[in-house]
Amino acid sequence: MKLILLGPPGAGKGTQAKRIEKDYGLVQLSTGDMLRAAVAAGTDVGREARDVMTAGRLVPDDVVVSIIAERIDKPDCAKGFILDGFPRTLAQAESLDKMLSEKGGGIDRVIEIKVDPDALIERIAGRFSCSGCGAAYHDRFNPPKVADVCDICGGTKFLRRPDDSAETVGARLAAYDDETAPLLPYYRALGVLRSVDGMAGIDEVTRGVRGAINGAGGD
């Protein structure tokens, strides 16, 4: 099973990917997480990506395509994967199709998480994650059960992404509209697109995502 979660920043792709990866034995592949790790490690890719990410723009296609090409060849991806934050441009989608067809496969399902644009800024501004295990939280919509303690690993250190700042969010949303939204008609034409209402509560969205994975056909 090869899935893509598609939607603007703040739609809940990462949260949903983490929830469904265990149920289906899939691996979450987040290019954002991989790039943040490269920045933290100070690799060549990280140095190239850092300023672009801080400005809320997209990292060049060839950089992310080669990261993904290398990653999906690893043994843990053999049972399938959930792409979260990739592809983000038509050129990336076409490279992915080529990569997968060379291995004799293709994308099984693209799940669009649809969210009202007005809700995105509040969602992004309030989010944070556990620095130990990466579990995602939100000040208002999904706080830890015990304040300042991670529900999953008990950790007490949390991170807020620098690119979730008010200055950067506008550029990230514009990049989605200009470069990523055109992927919707692309995948609709391939018959693999399903849309889920991302404005519902987190559990209900997960049910919608499961339904979209299990159901037949496209939108």
Site of interaction with ligand AMP (CB under 6 A): 9, 31-32, 35, 52-53, 56-59, 64, 85-88, 92, 163, 172
Reply yes or no on whether 161 is catalytic: yes
d(CA 127, CA 47): 25
Q: From 166, 184, 209, select the one nearest 88 (Cα to Cα).
A: 184
Q: Minimum distance from CB of 216 to ligand AMP (Å)?
A: 28
Whole-angstrom CA distances from 67 to 9, 53, 76, 161, 218 are: 20, 16, 15, 21, 28
Q: Where does residue 47 rank: exposed (0-12), middle (13-18), buried (19+ CB within 10 A)?
A: exposed
- Nearer to ligand AMP by Cβ, of 52 and 181: the residue is 52
- Nearer to ligand AMP by Cβ, of 173 and 205: the residue is 173
Cite the DSSP H helix spans in the chain: 13-24, 31-41, 44-54, 61-72, 90-102, 117-125, 166-175, 183-189, 202-214
- Nearer to ligand AMP by Cβ, of 133 and 146: the residue is 133
Catalytic pick from 13, 36, 50, 194? 13
159: region left, alpha or beta (phi > 0 left; psi from -120 to 50 alpha) = beta
Reply yes or no on whether 36 is catalytic: no
The CA-CA-CA angle for residues 197, 167, 147, to 5°, reads: 65
Catalytic pick from 57, 71, 161, 188? 161
Reply yes or no on whether 172 is catalytic: yes
- Nearer to ligand AMP by Cβ, of 95 and 206: the residue is 95
d(CA 161, CA 168): 11
Q: Minimum distance from CB of 133 to ligand AMP (Å)?
A: 17
Q: Minimum distance from CB of 67 to ligand AMP (Å)?
A: 9
Q: Minimum distance from CB of 70 to ligand AMP (Å)?
A: 14
Catalytic pick from 88, 109, 123, 194? 88
- Nearer to ligand AMP by Cβ, of 67 and 205: the residue is 67
Q: Minimum distance from CB of 13 to ligand AMP (Å)?
A: 7
Hey, which residues are catalytic here? 13, 88, 127, 161, 172
